[in-house]
Amino acid sequence: MSAKKIRGGVIGVGRGQSFMQGAAHTGMELVAICDTWKERLNKVGKRFKVATYADYDRFLKHDMDAVVLANYCHDHAPFAVKALNAGLHVMSECIAARTMAQCAELVEAVEKTGKIYMLAENYPYMLGCQELRRVYRTGEIGDVQYAEGEYNHPAEENWRLSISPGMKHWRNWLPPTYYVTHALAPLMYITDTLPVSLNALSVPAKRIQAPNTVKIGDFGGVILCRMDNGSVFRIWGLGMSSIHRIRYEVHGDNGMASSLHGGEVRVHHEPWLRHPGQPVDRTYQPDWPEHGDLAAKAGHGGGDFWTNFHFANAIRDRKQPYLNVYRAAAMAAVSILGWRSCLENGKPFAIPDFKSKAARKPYADDNWSPFPEDAGPGQPPASLNGNLKPSAKAIAHARKVWKSIGYKGV
């Protein structure tokens, strides 16, 4: 980690601060930041004592090697393509892309430029998930037959509003399948599998969950993915008000391994399948394989340290990271096609192999999207109920909250 410093910039001064704080721990140096919200930009710029830009194109001209994209969730692909074409390595927050056309374009840009691209998906690197991967790779539970990934994050309405400023903010529109990576990526990482097809069902947004909300998108949904080894993964989330829970469970043909909240790990074997001396069931708190002191201080169960770490190493080693553009695009495709499936009552969709030019070509003009920026004739809704109009009371309340945090938009 003491090798030549990699100069990095960050767009998005909310979540982006996680990278800003952790950059130095992985041999990176924060040199510039960018955000259109000028008050926040200036405040964060003063704190980190770095150059500030309100304009992304000008920011990209700053003398640096890499950028971290922590701008709006559904806007990452065009920002990534611009940065790659400007000769910069990219680490992008989730999701990688909001349309199938963007997935294909992003893959093309990485292949053309040869720059490092990494999805900044941190949940696979939580302590429990890393241990599940280690256990799985020993062969102890056999080959995965079935797995469950759950990321359900209920949100109290005023807090939700405070992190979703603006009627068009992505958090107000996001259908439940789009934020799939926290539930799916750890399972892919543990078992080294890729999704090849899916079916999905959404829970129609009921206003009883938050009667006075400006949120349009449904709160919860289930995706069934067929993986490339024939196994089935069930992916569940995103914002049902029932319980905040992060859970991974991998069922092999010789046992089961699971982790709750990315910490404690449980490994189970039926009595007749265990090896001599092996317990039927064991539950334990794993140790970090390395860098435990730095990981323990980082957010999201240490995951925020490891995404920075792997990005920096990928740049130094000139080798694409595990969460490369093909896995990133496959997960984005699960998000998008998952929502298509929900709107067609669980219809199956095949997920293209983004490594194949021929397989991704048919998607080059597929701009299907439920987001408000893409509004137009035939646009799909963000809820099974259609794009319900929030009440005047809900809008007035939301604007009061947004004003209180200094948001000047509508």
Ligand X SMILES: NC(=O)c1ccc[n+]([C@@H]2O[C@H](COP(=O)([O-])OP(=O)(O)OC[C@H]3O[C@@H](n4cnc5c(N)ncnc54)[C@H](O)[C@@H]3O)[C@@H](O)[C@H]2O)c1
The residues of the shown chain that bind ligand X, judged by CB under 6 A, are 11-15, 34-37, 40, 56, 70-73, 93-94, 122, 163, 300
Interatomic CA distance for residues 142 and 135, integer angstroms: 10
Smallest gap from residue 201 Cβ to ligand X (A): 23
Name the CA dihedral angle for 84, 89, 95, 96, rounded to a multiple of 10 degrees: 40
| Min dist. Cβ of residue 218 to ligand X (A) | 17
Q: By C-beta, is 224 or 314 nearer to ligand X?
A: 314
**Nearer to ligand X (CB atom), residue 34 or residue 110:** 34
What Rg do the C-alpha atoms of the chain give, in angstroms? Answer: 21
Query: Across the strands, what pairs with 52?
Result: 33
- DSSP E strands, 96-244: 117-119, 144-152, 195-203, 220-227, 232-238
What is the smallest separation between the CB atom of 64 and ligand X, expressed in angstroms? 16
Least Å from the CB of residue 69 to ligand X: 8
Angstrom distance (rounded) from CA 76 to CA 16: 13
Is 40 or 133 the residue whose CB approaches ligand X more closely? 40
DSSP 33: E
Residues forming beta bridges with residue 256, ordered by sequence position: 251, 268
Least distance CB 183 / ligand X (angstroms): 12
- As measured in angstroms, the least distance from the Cβ of 34 to ligand X is 5
CA–CA separation, 89 and 113 (whole Å):
9
The CB density around residue 156, as the number of other CB atoms within 10 Å, is 10
Q: Which is nearer to ligand X, 55 or 270 (CB)?
A: 55
Q: Taking Cα atoms as reference points, which of 67, 77, 1 lies closest to residue 35?
A: 67
Please check whether residue 178 is in contact with residue 95, taking contact to mean a CB–CB distance below 8 angstroms.
yes
Give the number of other Cβ atoms within 10 Å of residue 29's Cβ: 14
Select 72 or 136, whichever has its Cβ closest to ligand X: 72
Q: Cβ closer to ligand X: 244 or 357?
A: 244
Closest approach, Cβ 326 to ligand X, in A, equals: 20
Q: Which is nearer to ligand X, 35 or 105 (CB)?
A: 35
Using Cβ positions, the residue closest to ligand X within the complex turns out to be: 14
Sequence-separated (6 or more) residues with CB below 8 Å from residue 361: 104
Local structure of residue 352 (DSSP, 8 states): P
Residue 352 or 370 having the CB closest to ligand X? 370
221 in Cβ contact with 176 (< 8 Å):
yes
Residue 224 Cβ vs ligand X, minimum distance, rounded to whole Å: 24
What's the rounded Cα separation, in Å, for the pair 14 and 16?
5
